[in-house]
């Protein structure tokens, strides 16, 4: 019974790391797209760069967790290294989300594109069809 539970724990860790890898890669590629398209102001560029770095670090740590789980001799994830990697993964992912949110918060508001406006005077009659 405990072997089954520890196997499920390992599978849960691997699935979590895969999920973090996917979210982080997607987020980092989106941030790079914004960075390349000049969508970042000079004063706010550090936040988007730090978000990219921390997203990529979370991918690397997630891969290290998957490697640590795969290399375990026992089926239970009790290693000090594995617990440290999990804590680092969470911290790095939270930091990347923080810097992304900070960039979004400091993003300057844009004015809507000027659309043609129709002004009607009081004497004008609007006729349809």
pLDDT tens, position by position, for the chain (129 residues)?
566 666 777 788 888 888 888 889 899 998 888 888 877 777 778 888 899 999 999 999 988 888 888 877 665 556 777 888 888 988 999 999 999 898 888 776 665 555 555 655 565 555 555
Task: Name the pTM for this structure.
Answer: 0.68
Q: Which residues contact 29 (CB under 8 A, 6 or more apart)?
A: none
- Give the per-residue pLDDT at 92: 92
Contacts of 77-85 with CB under 8 Å at 24 or more apart are: 77/6, 77/9, 77/10, 77/13, 82/13, 85/61
DSSP collapsed to 3 states, the chain: CHHHHHHHHHHHHHHHHHHHHHHHHHHHHHHHHHHHCCCCCHHHHHHHHHHHHHHHHHHHHHHHHHHHHHCCCCCCCCCHHHHHHHHHHHHHHHHHHHHHHHHHHCCCCCCCCCCCCCCCCCCCCCCCC
**Can you give the pLDDT at residue 94?**
92
pLDDT at 4: 66
Q: What is the pLDDT of residue 118?
A: 60
- Sequence ranges of the domains in the chain: 2-105
């Amino acid at each position: 019974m405990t072997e089954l539970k520890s196997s499920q724990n390992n599978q849960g860790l691997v699935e979590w790391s895969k999920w973090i890898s996917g979210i982080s890669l997607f987020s980092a590629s989106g941030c790079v797209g914004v960075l390349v398209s000049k969508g970042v102001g000079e004063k706010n560029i550090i936040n988007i760069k730090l978000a990219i770095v921390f997203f990529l670090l979370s991918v690397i740590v997630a891969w290290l967790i998957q490697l640590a789980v795969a290399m375990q001799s026992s089926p239970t994830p009790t290693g000090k290294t594995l617990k440290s990697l999990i804590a680092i993964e969470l911290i790095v992912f939270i930091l990347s989300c923080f810097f992304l949110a900070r960039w979004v918060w400091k993003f300057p508001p844009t004015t809507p594109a000027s659309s043609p406006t129709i002004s009607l005077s009081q004497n004008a009659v609007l006729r349809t069809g």
